[in-house]
Chains A and B, each alone.
Chain A
């Protein structure tokens, strides 16, 4: 162990290739003999395919093949499965209608963008041109897009097998009768009906996949822009195509952002793989942006009625929630888990609320799938709690900071004090929630702000401050727990450390980096644990051929779970190395200390360097009897609990009274993500999350019309956050170690996106309240100038 890298802002080793244009993303590859797929998609949200005529397209010059759903069905291929099963309240299994790779003749398409046929040609232009020659006759039906509308009697049905479009209903918390009683007996009840709007993840790299079948070996390779190659391989082989898993290699090369949307096994991955076998040539499909808007899984999309009760002293007495969650037309890989186990279980927030009940109805609609998007369920829980908290403070005439401090769970470290058992299943690991809020408020300069706000209230530029204090559950699993909750996979991670004969180290992790900087952070851990230079360590990921079965990157789990797996292997390396060192030093293993890259006999200057031990392990001429040669260990790490990062986010906005335009003036974030390996990378993760959370509050949101058309399905229409929409962020952190993983880390990938959204909306409302619009309880997100102006003028 040394302390040269851990905790330091080490510059990223992966940057060199990206800043020089040498990154290798899926669409950058052209394989020998490669063909190009163009997928014909339904222009209607709900329609029966009466006929498909591919004859003209087939004869076009340069067209290699055209396949329809009928071809897929004839080869006995299943649709893509969900990876998580959630049952109805009454125990019935959730509705899981098939999600075909291509919808066949006589079947119904269920969202705009549903795939109907694929044209494969010598170039993408030829494929696109030939797609125009495919004639499809549709019979169009009414559609439903809103989850609360979808469950009403008489609503258009997405699947015949799911009456009232209900995929499942679900509840969590205390018995509803107890919560009803606590609400009824409350001194004050704050009630809010609101929408957590649908978000489009929008990684800047559109999804891409290349299927390669090699007849000589009867093997397949799938290159795909994914966050978890092994999961894709397992789902595609075992559940979709029925090919033996050992005959398939899945590679997730450089991936241009994911934010959840590249976790899932998409139909296109299986489609190009299947097509490559049919034509015995590689088949590439790359999504266009407008195609991505209607085929990538979206996020959020909740319609909620929430009530929070308080006693006369301002203590929270109960929380009661009814939510309709939109799952889209098909169940995507993690979709059932997001509104349930990743959302309902976080409704304790940071508060000692004694009675909580969530009643959740998850609905199918004629829209593309909804699944995990950065934060996945936890932003929805946080938005609900934190909006209620600021609104309650406003209604009761108390300070929103004081109200939170009064209701916070007292500090506990999870070692000397036990973890905190919530009313909604989880047990928090460790935290000092008061401290992050106090720090944030100090950074804000709260008293001065309130003075400035009072002055601004007399002008046309109102000022507002919004608070948000959040907690999240990260680092999933434990596998046994998620298995009991319906996960159809384990959620451990694998880490292999291969010491080369010269003492250089190759590490193979099941985690996948698509911007998170694992090649640097993981190397920092390895270099320090072994006391060797960072340059001597290389991190490999993203290839099922080289990495043992891993679970990939999502849920802020890479370092907490994947890093811990690597640490386990490092411990094995150091332990075996000690036996070799003891032999070389003619000493007892128990008398050795390993530090700064060498084994030293305690109390002497006799030592042997790690590199010498490595060489001896591979050239074992003079070697301990009975010890295997080599220095190469693989470990699987399955955590004992989730990790629980938390923090305080504070937004300051200016609202133009005449136009309703909101300007974000300041954003303060004090986060506790446990121990920090690379503060530069952690800050970067927070920044990016903040931008996405702020984007939801101010700018973004998918809009479907009543026919199921996504009417802002391009970058011309969907408002992405731009550089001039955002201020410089003001960050601070506390570090409360996670007590149950060897690095003490909690995860930083989603924090920014979880806490920031309600802070901004609360700030907009606070500005309005300061300007005499105290009656306004809610403004729909995004808080566009029109909506804010209407709120002030209605």
Chain B
């Protein structure tokens, strides 16, 4: 039995039939072929699959595709405005906040949610905010810097 769902992903409407048990992350990766959202674990621990559902960061392995029916989703592929990178994407590049790149999409999506809630986080607030996302490459040092870079840049844009 398949169930019809309608979702808006990165500004584009999709109507698809899915199995009830299909996880949102599998729907994004296998059905819509948006493979920037990654799967790093099977216990909703690593955060590599983090996306935004109606503006809130969600680990897309914790949610069924059918639960996303009618919602608006943003994945890493939809974060940049055309050719202009999101300040977090820019920050990760400028601060060497990524190495192998596998955790990066989830890390950026979580950080975007963090900055939406707390535009000027302290170092410890950033670290606490990212504790649900694992990175094995960077030791988090430059990820913290990347988030600080983005916070500063977004703040500048607001004040300008």
From A515, A516, A689, residue with most partner B Cβ within 10 Å: A515
By beta carbon, the residue of chain A nearest B92 is A19
How far apart are B18's CB and chain A's nearest CB, in angstroms? Answer: 12
B48 contacts partner chain A, Cβ-Cβ < 8 Å? yes
By beta carbon, the residue of chain A nearest B108 is A19
Is A204 a contact partner of B42 (Cβ separation < 8 A)?
Answer: no
Instruction: Give every chain B residue within 8 A of A312 (Cβ-Cβ).
Output: none
Is A729 a contact partner of B141 (Cβ separation < 8 A)?
Answer: yes
Instruction: Give every chain B residue within 8 A of A687 (Cβ-Cβ).
Output: 138-142
Is B144 a contact partner of A688 (Cβ separation < 8 A)?
Answer: no
How far apart are B36's CB and chain A's nearest CB, in angstroms? Answer: 2
A688's partner among B46, B101, B139 (CB-CB below 8 A) is B139
A785 contacts partner chain B, Cβ-Cβ < 8 Å? no
Is A715 a contact partner of B134 (Cβ separation < 8 A)?
Answer: yes
Given contacts A687-B142, A724-B124, contact A256 B102 (CB under 8 A): yes
A105 contacts partner chain B, Cβ-Cβ < 8 Å? no
A176 contacts partner chain B, Cβ-Cβ < 8 Å? no
Additional 12 contacts, C-beta under 8 A, given A18-B105, A205-B38, A723-B130: A20-B85, A20-B89, A21-B35, A21-B77, A30-B30, A125-B19, A204-B40, A254-B101, A290-B42, A687-B141, A714-B42, A715-B46
Instruction: Give every chain A residue within 8 A of B1 (Cβ-Cβ).
Output: none
Is B36 a contact partner of A20 (Cβ separation < 8 A)?
Answer: yes
Is B41 a contact partner of A715 (Cβ separation < 8 A)?
Answer: yes
How far apart are A294's CB and chain B's nearest CB, in angstroms? Answer: 13
Is A20 a contact partner of B42 (Cβ separation < 8 A)?
Answer: no
B12 contacts partner chain A, Cβ-Cβ < 8 Å? no
Is A517 a contact partner of B99 (Cβ separation < 8 A)?
Answer: yes
Given contacts A256-B101, A257-B99, A728-B144, contact A204 B46 (CB under 8 A): yes
Is B102 a contact partner of A25 (Cβ separation < 8 A)?
Answer: yes
Instruction: Give every chain A residue within 8 A of B85 (Cβ-Cβ).
Output: 19-20
Instruction: Give every chain A residue within 8 A of B100 (Cβ-Cβ).
Output: 203-205, 254-257, 514-515
Instruction: Give every chain A residue within 8 A of B108 (Cβ-Cβ).
Output: 19
Is B99 a contact partner of A515 (Cβ separation < 8 A)?
Answer: yes
B80 contacts partner chain A, Cβ-Cβ < 8 Å? yes
Is A723 a contact partner of B144 (Cβ separation < 8 A)?
Answer: yes
Interface string of A660-688 (1 = CB under 8 A from B): 00000000000000000000110110011
Chain A interface (Cβ within 8 Å of chain B)? Answer: 11-12, 14-25, 27-28, 30, 125, 202-206, 254-257, 259, 288-290, 514-517, 680-681, 683-684, 687-692, 714-716, 720-724, 726, 728-729, 752
B93's partner among A11, A27, A714, A722 (CB-CB below 8 A) is A11
Given contacts A715-B41, A726-B140, A728-B123, contact A23 B99 (CB under 8 A): no
Is B21 a contact partner of A23 (Cβ separation < 8 A)?
Answer: no
From A12, A15, A691, A721, residue with most partner B Cβ within 10 Å: A15
- Bound-state CA distance A516–B135 (Å) is 14
Is A25 a contact partner of B140 (Cβ separation < 8 A)?
Answer: no
How far apart are B76's CB and chain A's nearest CB, in angstroms? Answer: 4
By beta carbon, the residue of chain A nearest B98 is A18
B136 contacts partner chain A, Cβ-Cβ < 8 Å? yes
B68 contacts partner chain A, Cβ-Cβ < 8 Å? no
Is A722 a contact partner of B144 (Cβ separation < 8 A)?
Answer: no
Is A728 a contact partner of B141 (Cβ separation < 8 A)?
Answer: yes
Q: List 5 A-B contacts (CB under 8 A).
A: A15-B92, A19-B98, A22-B36, A716-B43, A720-B134
Instruction: Give every chain B residue within 8 A of A30 (Cβ-Cβ).
Output: 30, 33
By beta carbon, the residue of chain A nearest B105 is A21
By beta carbon, the residue of chain B nearest A691 is B139
Instruction: Give every chain A residue within 8 A of B33 (Cβ-Cβ).
Output: 30
By beta carbon, the residue of chain B nearest A687 is B139
Is A688 a contact partner of B35 (Cβ separation < 8 A)?
Answer: no
B8 contacts partner chain A, Cβ-Cβ < 8 Å? no
How far apart are A228's CB and chain B's nearest CB, in angstroms? Answer: 16
From B21, B33, B128, B135, residue with most partner A Cβ within 10 Å: B135
B3 contacts partner chain A, Cβ-Cβ < 8 Å? no
Is A714 a contact partner of B142 (Cβ separation < 8 A)?
Answer: no
Instruction: Give every chain B residue within 8 A of A681 (Cβ-Cβ).
Output: 96
A18's partner among B46, B104, B123, B124 (CB-CB below 8 A) is B104
- Bound-state CA distance A724–B132 (Å) is 10
Is B103 a contact partner of A204 (Cβ separation < 8 A)?
Answer: yes
By beta carbon, the residue of chain B nearest A27 is B39
B138's partner among A19, A27, A28, A684 (CB-CB below 8 A) is A684
Counting contact residues on chain B (CB < 8 A from A), the size range is 35 or more
Instruction: Give every chain A residue within 8 A of B73 (Cβ-Cβ).
Output: none
- Bound-state CA distance A517–B98 (Å) is 10
Which residues of B (83-116) have their CB < 8 Å from a CB of A? 85, 89, 92-94, 96, 98-105, 108
By beta carbon, the residue of chain B nearest A752 is B139
How far apart are A380's CB and chain B's nearest CB, in angstroms? Answer: 20
By beta carbon, the residue of chain B nearest A680 is B96
Given contacts A255-B100, A289-B43, A722-B134, contact A19 B93 (CB under 8 A): yes
Is A23 a contact partner of B36 (Cβ separation < 8 A)?
Answer: yes
B65 contacts partner chain A, Cβ-Cβ < 8 Å? no
- Bound-state CA distance A202–B98 (Å) is 16
Is B140 a contact partner of A204 (Cβ separation < 8 A)?
Answer: no
Instruction: Give every chain B residue within 8 A of A714 (Cβ-Cβ).
Output: 41-43, 45
Is A289 a contact partner of B42 (Cβ separation < 8 A)?
Answer: yes
Is A688 a contact partner of B134 (Cβ separation < 8 A)?
Answer: no
Instruction: Give every chain B residue within 8 A of A720 (Cβ-Cβ).
Output: 45-46, 134, 136
Instruction: Give every chain B residue within 8 A of A16 (Cβ-Cβ).
Output: 93
Is B139 a contact partner of A257 (Cβ separation < 8 A)?
Answer: no
- Bound-state CA distance A588–B133 (Å) is 62
Instruction: Give every chain A residue within 8 A of B76 (Cβ-Cβ).
Output: 19-21
Which residues of B (49-95) have their CB < 8 Å from a CB of A? 75-77, 79-80, 85, 89, 92-94
Is B135 a contact partner of A204 (Cβ separation < 8 A)?
Answer: yes
Top-3 shortest CB links A-B = A21-B36, A256-B102, A18-B101
B24 contacts partner chain A, Cβ-Cβ < 8 Å? no
Is A204 a contact partner of B134 (Cβ separation < 8 A)?
Answer: yes
Instruction: Give every chain A residue within 8 A of B127 (Cβ-Cβ).
Output: 722-724, 726
A28's partner among B35, B103, B142 (CB-CB below 8 A) is B35
B34 contacts partner chain A, Cβ-Cβ < 8 Å? yes
Instruction: Give every chain B residue within 8 A of A723 (Cβ-Cβ).
Output: 126-128, 130-131, 133, 135, 140, 143-144
From B93, B108, B135, B136, residue with most partner A Cβ within 10 Å: B136
Is A205 a contact partner of B92 (Cβ separation < 8 A)?
Answer: no
Is A257 a contact partner of B102 (Cβ separation < 8 A)?
Answer: yes
Instruction: Give every chain B residue within 8 A of A28 (Cβ-Cβ).
Output: 29, 35
- Bound-state CA distance A724–B126 (Å) is 8
Given contacts A21-B77, A690-B139, A726-B139, contact A684 B36 (CB under 8 A): no
B101's partner among A14, A689, A715 (CB-CB below 8 A) is A14
Instruction: Give every chain B residue within 8 A of A688 (Cβ-Cβ).
Output: 99, 136-139
Which residues of B (117-158) have their CB < 8 Å from a CB of A? 123-124, 126-128, 130-131, 133-144
Is B140 a contact partner of A15 (Cβ separation < 8 A)?
Answer: no
Is A20 a contact partner of B138 (Cβ separation < 8 A)?
Answer: no
- Bound-state CA distance A462–B102 (Å) is 38
Is A12 a contact partner of B93 (Cβ separation < 8 A)?
Answer: yes
- Bound-state CA distance A18–B30 (Å) is 19
Instruction: Give every chain B residue within 8 A of A726 (Cβ-Cβ).
Output: 127, 139-141
Is B136 a contact partner of A259 (Cβ separation < 8 A)?
Answer: yes
B131's partner among A125, A690, A724 (CB-CB below 8 A) is A724
By beta carbon, the residue of chain B nearest A374 is B136
By beta carbon, the residue of chain A nearest B109 is A21
Instruction: Give every chain A residue within 8 A of B102 (Cβ-Cβ).
Output: 23, 25, 203-205, 256-257
How far apart are B3's CB and chain A's nearest CB, in angstroms? Answer: 15
From B40, B46, B98, B139, residue with most partner A Cβ within 10 Å: B139
- Bound-state CA distance A19–B104 (Å) is 7
